[in-house]
Amino acid sequence: MNGAESGTRRVHRGPLLLVAAVAVAALAAVALAPPMAQDPAYHRFADGRRLLGLDHFWNVASSLAFTLAGLWGLRLHLRRRARGAEVPLAEWLFAFAVLLIGPGSAWYHLDPTTESLFWDRLAMAVAFMALFAAVLGETVAPAWRRHGLAPLLLLGVGSVLYWRLTERAGAGDLRPYALVQFLPPLLMVLLLALQGSRSYHAPSIWQALACYALAKAAELGDGVVMQATGVVSGHTLKHLLAAAACALILRAFAGATGHTARG
């Protein structure tokens, strides 16, 4: 695939209209919903075991899987650069944000509170939006990867800042952050299913989405998993599955072909 060919893509209007309709419907539903404060019960995890002087040890330790995935992703990016490939900024930012999820999540689990949760969610918001920009560049047009990145990052970071400010004001509102966490993955599934990918290693992307779905299920079943296994909680398993999802996405990036300086 030459540079001219890699910079073009036939975009079908029907699928894009469907994706746009889903996005508008989600925005309208969230706008009409009442404000959502952070539930204090969210901070009560099934596994609070103390080890090496740390409470919630396994939730803290498993958070570092994100750091390992991010470091591996950055290494893959550097190897691509060494081979002369252009690595888009959105892909660099995704790897760096995944790396930062590790310390952000570990900090939160050392003392689970709404205040400490801010740093965990900030890194996740950056990762979600950087990935969304990268997928838009793959499935719609390369310009989305470049020109859409900054607005998406502002939306992601802004949603977390808005949540924190409203919590401090005594009227917490998670609605914008909920959109950032759940709408981009849904739209990415639709875009990849309807438009496909120009260059990413498709099996890795679909495996990553499956891992992420399992991670959310494990998170919801935190106590159930702990009771069933007696060894690992659902939240710890969520960290490992979500980090694996990130690693699979980074592998898909590493298998990309056709990226040029346009990204």
- Does residue 14 lie in a domain region? no
Q: 13-42 pLDDT, tens per residue?
A: 766 788 889 989 998 998 899 998 898 889
Report long-range pairs for 182-189 (Cβ below 8 Å, ≥24 apart). Answer: 183/23, 183/26, 184/128, 184/129, 184/131, 184/132, 185/128, 185/209, 185/212, 186/22, 186/26, 187/19, 187/22, 187/23, 187/132, 188/131, 188/132, 188/135
Q: Which residues pair with 54 in a beta bridge?
A: 51
CA distance 64 to 239: 9
Q: Domains in the chain: how many in total? A: 1
- Does residue 166 lie in a domain region? yes
CA distance 71 to 94: 11
| Structure-model confidence comparison of residues 210 and 195, the more confident one | 210
Q: Is the pLDDT assigned to residue 82 strictly greater than 50?
A: yes
Other beta carbons within 10 Å of 114: 18
Q: 137-186 pLDDT, tens per residue?
A: 888 888 888 888 999 999 999 999 999 999 999 888 999 999 998 899 88
Nearest to 130 by CA among 93, 174, 162, 79: 93
CATH code of 207's domain: 1.20.1070
Q: Which residues pair with 257 in a beta bridge?
A: none
Nearest to 19 by CA among 144, 174, 153: 144
Report long-range pairs for 138-141 (Cβ below 8 Å, ≥24 apart). Answer: 138/197, 138/198, 138/199, 138/200, 139/191, 139/192, 139/195, 139/196, 139/197, 139/198, 140/9, 140/11, 140/16, 140/191, 140/195, 141/9, 141/11
- Does residue 27 lie in a domain region? no
- Does residue 19 lie in a domain region? no
- Sign for the CA dihedral angle at 197, 92, 208, 149 comes to negative
- Does residue 32 lie in a domain region? no
- Does residue 222 lie in a domain region? yes
Local confidence band at 6 (pLDDT 50, 70, 90 cut-offs):
very low
pLDDT given for residue 18 in this prediction: 84
- Does residue 156 lie in a domain region? yes
Nearest to 106 by CA among 151, 139, 57: 57
pTM: 0.88
Q: What range does the domain containing 220 cover? A: 59-254
- Does residue 139 lie in a domain region? yes
